[in-house]
A and B are shown apart, each in its own frame.
Chain A
Amino acid sequence: MRKYLIAIIFFSCWSPHFVFANSLYPLDSAKKNAQFSYLLKNLRCLVCQNQDLADSNAELAKDLRQRVYELVKEGKSDSEIGDYLTSRYGDFILFKPPVKAATLLLWFGPLLFLLSGFIIFWRTCFKRVSYE
């Protein structure tokens, strides 16, 4: 008996997200469930800006959650839902900014820094050898 109780407590600690996704927002397939929770984790709440939509309790977040739920239920793809939201709220709503001209430096800047570091390092070493 005690064993079962421990098991129940153990699993109830584990599954709040799962329960939340299913009881409030029932979806007909596991795939849609996964899509729904994936989207909510990757969309920003615009009111409390460092929270995602899954986390936030702001009124707007609730509405947007509902809207995303309806779109997932209709069978819309991730990119369609993303477009729906960015056409209204801009790229800011996505935690991961899309790759485009304005964000090239953001995406490839680190690579640029790494490369220039290598070049500086290479040239410094190279020069040092030639002095000897």
Chain B
Amino acid sequence: MNRIGWRIIPILFFLLLSVLLWRGLSLDPHTLPSVQVGKILPAFALPELIHPEKIFKSNQIPQQVVLLNVWASWCAACVDEQVFMMELSRKGVPVYGLNYKDNADDAIKWLEQWGNPYKVIVQDSQGKTAIDLGVYGAPETFIIDKKGLIRYRHAGIMSQKVWADEMAPLMKQLDNNG
């Protein structure tokens, strides 16, 4: 046993590495962990989409658990998500929108076509707030708690499954904990 003890180490390393690499094959390189989770929502003061003369500040979001959805009219995937967003807003989930690097006219037309689930939409035409949020594509959805902390980030289209498995329970829990 002692004689083969040393020689078995490379084989063990090899097996370990194989397992790691095998696992890596099934990971999606586009799902990046967000470093924003647990941090305070970055402060912004942006014009509203529907009433561009009004400036909406990040601290105007009421002290409740809300969704912040990053979307744009140029983003094809956002259309897929919109049906679900409409359903959420009908259920009474407060959804706020960040219109990401978009043209206001196009965005308003898009809302007329696909529906508007948002309480308030702000225009981030330069994409600066999106960079502060660590957004790298639309759509992205954040859960903001009552204290204004980011508690969850979902990149990509929100599905019934993600909502039911992760987001809805978390929102409920945050709602109860105060």
Contacts and interface: CB of A to CB of B under 8 A. Distances in A.
Interface of A: 46-47, 49, 59-60, 63-64, 67, 86-90, 92, 113, 116-117, 119-120, 123-124, 127
Given A47-B136, A116-B9, A92 B101 contact: no
B69 to A, nearest CB: 18
Given A67-B131, A87-B35, A88-B134, A119 B6 contact: yes
A117 B13 CA distance: 11
Interface of B: 3, 6-7, 9-10, 13, 29-30, 32-36, 101, 126-128, 130-134, 136-137
B136 A89 contact: yes
Contacts of B29: 49
A56 to B, nearest CB: 12
Contacts, number: 53
B35 A88 contact: yes
Q: Give the 5 A-B CB pairs with smallest separation, nearest first.
A: A46-B136, A90-B35, A88-B134, A63-B127, A89-B134
Contacts of A67: 128, 131
Contacts of A113: 13
A120 B134 contact: no
A120 B133 contact: no
A90 B137 CA distance: 15
A124 B5 CA distance: 11
Contact of A90 (B6, B7, B30, B134): B134
20 contacts: A47-B136, A59-B127, A63-B127, A63-B130, A63-B131, A64-B131, A67-B128, A86-B35, A88-B134, A89-B35, A89-B136, A90-B33, A90-B35, A113-B13, A120-B6, A120-B7, A120-B9, A120-B10, A123-B6, A124-B6
Nearest to A90: B35
A33 B101 CA distance: 28
Contacts of B30: 49
A60 B35 contact: no
A81 to B, nearest CB: 13
A88 B131 contact: yes
A60 B138 CA distance: 11
Contacts of B35: 86-90
A47 B75 CA distance: 14
Nearest to A113: B13
Contacts of B137: 47, 60
A125 to B, nearest CB: 12
A39 to B, nearest CB: 15
A59 B136 CA distance: 9
Contacts of B6: 119-120, 123-124
